[in-house]
Chain A
């Protein structure tokens, strides 16, 4: 079975981003970039399925600027077999990404598409669901456990208040949550090997996808600063402040 894993280049999770001076976007110049943490979990899951013998090929795909190839190489160092880079300098909304991924899926005919549940930059949590809708595939979002058979997937999902298990026929879309697995680190030999793995570059036109404008970003502003707090010296003082100053207890 073939698995398609869409991945995204994002600002590293430990970096605090700031809004730029003219309030049009966040300032990402010169920041450390990385593979989106949820995409890492998706790649790891695909690799584990391959190691378990239920998957034969893992194809990673990304949509973005030239430097996003670094994240495709990282994904291949982690165990993906080959990569597709859809080159564009535009920032696309999840619906447009999903339309491009639909064209890639039609080309690749993967039985399973594994996504991260959200990217930590846009925090949209939409793309997997949208691809499932456009391709009329069933979906299991926020997966914390995934079991495959030849023609179905059983997935345990993290929902508000607990866990839910659903079963769906393949092909299907799964989006992964934090608890699914612990991603491995790429070893140096595997990083070297990944440089020789195939990486195909396509344009949006090559895939025959036409996109339209859906949104305008009017402005991007920093959130309101909290006013500075105080340190108290004892539990008794804390209780006194909460009762008489903040009046919350």
Chain B
């Protein structure tokens, strides 16, 4: 059995998501190949070759894959699909964009956001914002899966896979226009060990400065609830929840967040949850390991000082 993992990268570096998707592939068992499709992506290829458990890295290095558009990426994967029983990617924005297209072209269903591998054809995935876990058996010849990276540990880096060039060049009707990435020196939300998140209770974007000060003390990433994003306090790529990022850090500190179902869906698998809220009835306290009923504008600076 051979498994193809679509690498997540920005041409210059391989994202940790790939190492986690490789872990899911290793859990299924078999020969694991990683496809790195991009433009001038040699550094990402080298990083992929080092992932433990990977036996081959397929390299499609061409300007057409620069922006990793779903249209040409899916044609590339389908072109390679004949050799594989499983096609996997992280449930990242590229994976979620591309893999359903691959699945439909192969006339197979996709299983999204897998959190557990039961056997080679059976997987567990959350539904209804994580209110239930469905164990799903695939009846298709090729299993197309996206995996929830917060549910898998990253593969380590002592492999030495061979790299093989792929010549297939696919075209896309869509064209890349521009990209704006949020600049941040803090760890990425998806891979941070500690996350400090703010909600509507923060009151304004300026007030996030006190969370950032706390985050810097803890080397934490900063997250947010949908309310904080909708109010314009922070950019939307910081949103944690059912439709934002799904995270599972060692420590998640929810500040001024009430704890709606949709937010809990994104963080309730964190190892330790701390809630700081002035409303003792806030639902967030029901999932928190440690709750503090307090005014965040007093509690957060005090917490920062004590660390």
Contact = CB atoms under 8 A, between A and B. Distances in A.
B134 interface: yes
Contacts of A229: 273, 285, 287-291
B263 interface: no
Q: Which has the most chain B C-beta neighbours within 10 Å: A16, A133, A223?
A: A133
A125 B139 contact: no
Interface stretch (A51-59, A73-81, A136-144, A197-205): A136-144
Contacts of A123: 112-113, 126-129, 242
Interface string A222-245: 110010011111111011011000
30 contacts: A117-B243, A126-B100, A129-B101, A131-B104, A132-B70, A133-B102, A133-B105, A134-B104, A144-B236, A159-B179, A163-B180, A166-B69, A168-B174, A168-B175, A169-B173, A177-B243, A178-B236, A179-B229, A215-B139, A216-B137, A217-B134, A217-B135, A218-B137, A220-B132, A223-B133, A229-B289, A230-B289, A231-B285, A235-B299, A238-B274
A246 interface: yes
Contacts of B94: 159-160
Interface of B is mostly: mixed
B210 interface: no
Interface of A: 11, 13-14, 16-19, 26, 38, 93-95, 98, 117-118, 120-134, 138-142, 144, 154, 157-169, 172, 177-179, 213-223, 226, 229-236, 238-239, 241-242, 246, 248-249
Interface in B63-101: 67, 69-71, 74, 92-94, 96-101
A112 to B, nearest CB: 14
Contacts of B271: 248
Contacts of B26: none
A217 B136 contact: yes
A149 B182 CA distance: 29
A165 B111 CA distance: 28
Given A95-B108, A216-B136, A138 B97 contact: no
Given A159-B237, A235-B299, 7 more contacts: A17-B132, A95-B103, A120-B129, A126-B100, A133-B104, A218-B136, A248-B271
Given A123-B126, A138-B174, A164-B176, A13 B262 contact: yes
A180 to B, nearest CB: 11
B106 to A, nearest CB: 9
B133 A221 contact: yes
Interface residues of B, number: 88
Given A214-B138, A223-B126, A239-B303, A230 B132 contact: no
B184 to A, nearest CB: 9
A120 B128 contact: yes
Contacts of B111: 215
Contact of B289 (A154, A167, A169, A246): A246
Interface of B: 67, 69-71, 74, 92-94, 96-105, 107-113, 122, 126-140, 172-182, 188, 190, 194, 218, 226, 229-230, 235-237, 242-243, 245, 250-251, 261-262, 268, 271-274, 285, 287-294, 299, 302-303, 306-307
Nearest to A140: B174
- Nearest 8 pairs of A and B residues by beta carbon: A214-B109, A129-B100, A168-B174, A133-B104, A162-B181, A130-B104, A126-B100, A138-B174
A164 B67 contact: yes
Contacts of B112: 123-126
A241 B290 contact: yes
A167 B235 CA distance: 23
B101 A213 contact: no
Given A13-B262, A123-B127, A144-B236, A215 B290 contact: no
A165 B174 CA distance: 10
A218 B122 contact: yes
